[in-house]
Structures are given as structure tokens and as C-alpha cells.
Amino acid sequence: MFRHHSQPLVTAPAETAVLALLLAEGPLSRVELARRTGLSSTAVTKAARPLIDDGYLYELPPERTAPGAGRPVNPLAVAPDREYFIGLKISADQLFGAVCDLRAGVRATAVRPLGEITPEAVAPLVAELVDELLDTEPAFRDRTRHLGVAVNGDVDRESGRLRHSGLLGWRDVPLADLLAASTGLSVTVENDVRALTVAEHWFGEGIGTGYFALVTIGAGIGSALVVNGRLLRGAYGVAGEVGHLCVDPTGPRCRCGARGCVEAIASTEAILAAVRRDTEDGHLTFDEAVRMARDGHPAARAAFARAGQAIGVGIAALVNLVGPERVVVSGEGVDAYDLLGRHIQDAYAAQAFGAASRCPLSLRPLPWEEWARGAAAVAIQALFPQYTATPTAGAG
């Protein structure tokens, strides 16, 4: 089924360029592939041939590029069912899993609750969830060799080690090795926001962009950046941490220890704390705070306004520094976007410098399947060593 079970699909730069472009933007003719990749037509044909022979690419029926044009062309397309990938999102209380095809199309999903949150307890539950997903359709098991894992925290993708996750309470966990042993699959581990950004850049809102940013709002404020077509990690692995930009030096203390971070003002916990303080109701829930704001309660509306302003200022700083072509705002916090959106947009417009203000902000709803799809996209990316060997990804 696979030439080399655990090795990358493509290693040559030409094969990588052709397959990556077809995954994101195919079908494309060989002429268009040559133009877009800078390769010669002969090099494109040579790069495509082994991928066609292995069933990853196929030729569409001949078509003419224009009325009266000469020889018809045979566009090349990706065969999405040639290989499948498992995507797994580990949250504080549940495992979310999905089977995705080669173009990150979701083919099956499953959820499993978590009891004890330790790596040793989670690993066998992951194996059970993977087995459940692989048994969904007969073709899945024979055509799946990669598992992508998305997890909150500081991840060393190259070694597969989770250095620290405050959400899970894990530190220095060899997660890739642990889950490879329990599932028998090749495992790639990535920070959850970075994984989501991979999916959006390769298969979603960011297709075709060289500069792209994704910001998630919710329990935390996460972000990741794409620069020159690659996710940016930076020298210390925290490039793009918009959640920990200081927007108010006298503001509330953040969980990172600093004061006035975007996250300290705009996370769901921070918003709720502000409404509880101003209403003197320590038992208030976040959903109740949302309802109060929608009903016009001044303190609740003010808390969401401050949060939206902080997010907008943070995004503007990101755009001013990096100059993305597009920013996607996502996360569970978008459910309250009606309370945040105007304040985000107003603060962004006020702080974005010059032509940078032309960068559009797009709202992207985020059902849990998208986190698992992001993890699967990381597994797909593992087919391309040139993408995984280069320092990658933003922060979350």
C-alpha cells in the first residue's frame, strides 16, 4: 500500500512543490504548475510521474484552455482517497478525533470523554479512539499510517515532546513516542493553534497566501503566523504570541505573570472575572454574563467592550509588524462575537498603520471537528520533510 510505511511521501524539492500546490489549489495543468512553481515543464512531468504511478495524482480528461486553443491539456489532480490521516485534539476533558483524506476532508469523527488526565491514562484511550475511527470504513485501516495530535501548550514538534501544558498539567512528556507505541502509527505532535493554522493555510482561508495570521479567542488568546509561506516559530518558539502582548501596563495580572496582556483582559475567564467583580456576583457563569450583556447590562457590556478593544489592538500590532494578507479570527469565543466584533474592528481600524489596515479580518466558526482536522493537516504536512524540518508555527 505504501512504498515506505514511516518515511515521507516526497523528498525531492520538485515533487514537494508539485504535490503541495495541487493539494491546496488543484486541479492544475502542467503548464500552470510550471508557471507557479518556477520549474520547467519537463521537471514537472518528471516530478508528477512517481506520484501518478503510486496513485496520489491522476490526470483529468483533456480540456482546451480557450476556444481555438491548440493541443488540449490534461490537468493533474490529487486522489484524496489514496491515503487517510487521523487527527486528534486532546482537551482537558475529552478526546476529539477525525479521519481526514489527503485534502483534509473530514470523513469520520468520534469523541471520547476523559477521566484521569495523565499521559499514561490518556494513551490507551487514544488507541481505542483510533481503532474506532479506523473501523468506520474498510479502507481506512489499510490506508492510514499517520496520526496528528493537537494539544495546548509548548510543543517541540521535531522531537514530539510536549514541554509544558498548563491546561493539562503536563510537563516534559514524550507524547509522540507514547502514542506511537499505543497506536502503531507515525505520530506528529503540534500546538493546537499552530495545527489549526496549518489547516487554514493549506486548505482554508489562507490558501495561496504567503503571509497569513490566525487568532483564536476563548479560554485563552492564541495566534500563529505564516511568513513566506511557512509557519513562524521564532528563535524561542513563541513568535506571534498576540495573547501576551501588553495592551494595558496597569491592567490585571495575566497567568503568565505579566500585567495587561490581551489574554488577561479578553479571555472568557477574564471577562467573567470582570463581570463578577462589577456585579458582586461570584457565582455568575460565563453564559449568564453573555446573556446579561445581550440584555444591555452596563457592567457586562463594558467587560466585553474592553475585551474586544484589547483583541483589536493586539491584532493591529500583529498586522503592523508582519503584514499578513489576511487574518482569521476563530475559537470558541466567536459565539459571543456579536458582543466583541464591533469593538475588535474599531480598535483594529484605529491602530492598524497605513496600508496595513487593508488586511481583512475574517470570522471563522470553530466546531470541535476543526481542531481535529487541524491535527490531521499536521499529519498530512508530515509527508513533506521540507515543511516539517524548517522551524515552524506561531503560538497558542
Share above pLDDT 70 across residues of the chain, in percent, rounded to a whole number? 92
Burial 85-100 (b: 16+ CB within 10 A, else e): bbbbbbbeeebbbbbb
Does the pLDDT at position 63 exceed 80?
Answer: no
pLDDT at 393: 33
Confirm if 226 and 210 have CB atoms less than 8 A apart.
Answer: yes
pLDDT at 389: 41
Lowest mean per-residue pLDDT among 103-107, 311-315, 332-336:
332-336
- Summarised one tens digit per residue, pLDDT across range 272-289 is 999 999 999 999 999 999
pLDDT higher for 239 or 355?
A: 355
Provide the pairing of β-strand 161-165 with 154-156: antiparallel
Across the chain, mean pLDDT equals 90
Model confidence band, residue 352 (pLDDT cutoffs 50, 70, 90):
very high
Question: What predicted TM-score, i.e. pTM, was given to this entire model?
Answer: 0.88
Model confidence band, residue 312 (pLDDT cutoffs 50, 70, 90):
very high
Does the pLDDT at position 1 exceed 90?
Answer: no
Angle between the N-to-C axes of helices 192-203 and 368-381, in degrees from 0 to 180, rounded to the nearest 10: 80
Cα–Cα distance list, 67 to 28, 32, 59, 63 (Å): 18, 18, 21, 10
- Summarised one tens digit per residue, pLDDT across range 232-263 is 888 877 788 899 999 999 999 998 889 999 99
CA–CA separation, 338 and 23 (whole Å): 35
